[in-house]
Amino acid sequence: MSREAQTVHPAFPETADIATASEGYAARFGGAVGAWMLAVQERIVAELLPAVTSVTVLDVGGGHGQLAVPLCRAGYDVTVVGSDERCRERIAEWVAAGRCRFVVGNLIALPFPERSFDVALAFRLLPHCAAWPTLIAELCRVARCMVLVDYPTRESLNVLAPTLFGAKRRLEGNTRRWRLFRHAEVAAEFRKHGYACHARQGQFFLPMVLHRVLHCRPLSVRLEALATRLGLTARWGSPVIVRMDRLPDQSAGAR
């Protein structure tokens, strides 16, 4: 069946990706510290994805380009779905060059048939999506083999985030409220749709806002390297990147 998107109504109930695809949001990852944080995310995702770059990838809410661009650069067959035409802007160059497809669609009722893509991704989206169980269900539905998502977890120093939200907003300016997850509740939601955890990896032990405040990449790198050696990141790292694989009894036709 074709992977071409069906026609959808332009007004959708979930539009959290508009903010993350904006220039203002991208500025939060500007400079050497921001580039380092994105490199950490990119490295983990590269380790979790299949090495064969011919696999098809759907990046849900990925108009920020944090993964779509490096995946296109690496040769993956990438489609980005966004809730608004504005979400195309940061990846417009890649779309215009034919190296990436962009589709406007409902993020919690994806305009694609079941198992249309080998892999489905959703980054910077789950904690801002009120209907996050529906988002997970849709990711599982359209993926043939695996799903990758990221989320901040209560099982980390992020447990202090609600208390420090005001200070974080003053420092970052465009911080939105977000949901903290427990690993078990995310895994349980994926299990409902026939997926099990293949790997889970925390990105940073210290809160990302602290690294932005320090504004010193060498110091941040050293602090996080120490946390990794001490096993702190493995146990309490956040945001977490998790790879969920379709269970064998539901993987007919998977690559």
Per-residue pLDDT reduced to its tens digit, 73-120: 999 999 999 999 999 999 999 999 999 999 999 999 999 999 999 999
pLDDT at 242 over 90: yes
Identify the sign of the CA torsion 166, 167, 168, 174. Answer: positive
pLDDT classification of 5: cutoffs 50, 70, 90: very low
Question: Mean of the pLDDT values across residues 132-152?
Answer: 97
pLDDT at 250 over 80: no
Question: Mean of the pLDDT values across residues 210-224?
Answer: 95
pLDDT at 192 over 80: yes
Residue-level pLDDT at 161: 59
Percent over 70 (pLDDT), the chain: 87
Per-residue pLDDT reduced to its tens digit, 194-203: 999 999 999 9
Residue-level pLDDT at 172: 53
Rounded to whole angstroms, the Cα distance separating 33 from 138 reads: 33
Which residues, 6 or more positions from 90, have their beta carbon under 8 angstroms from its beta carbon? 21, 23, 26, 63, 64, 65
Rounded to whole angstroms, the Cα distance separating 173 from 195 reads: 37
Closest CA to 76 of 95, 53, 93, 105: 53
Rounded to whole angstroms, the Cα distance separating 85 from 65 reads: 14
Question: Mean of the pLDDT values across residues 212-235?
Answer: 96
Torsion of CA 65, 71, 73, 78, to 10 degrees: -80
Rounded to whole angstroms, the Cα distance separating 195 from 218 reads: 38
Give the end-to-end CA distance of the chain in Å, rounded to a whole number: 16
pLDDT classification of 155: cutoffs 50, 70, 90: confident
Show the domains of the chain with their CATH numbers.
Answer: 16-246 (3.40.50.150)
Average pLDDT over the chain reads 89
Which residues, 6 or more positions from 128, have their beta carbon under 8 angstroms from its beta carbon? 16, 19, 20, 176, 178, 179
Joined together, the tokens standing for residue 229 give 């050696």
pLDDT classification of 156: cutoffs 50, 70, 90: confident
Residue-level pLDDT at 254: 42
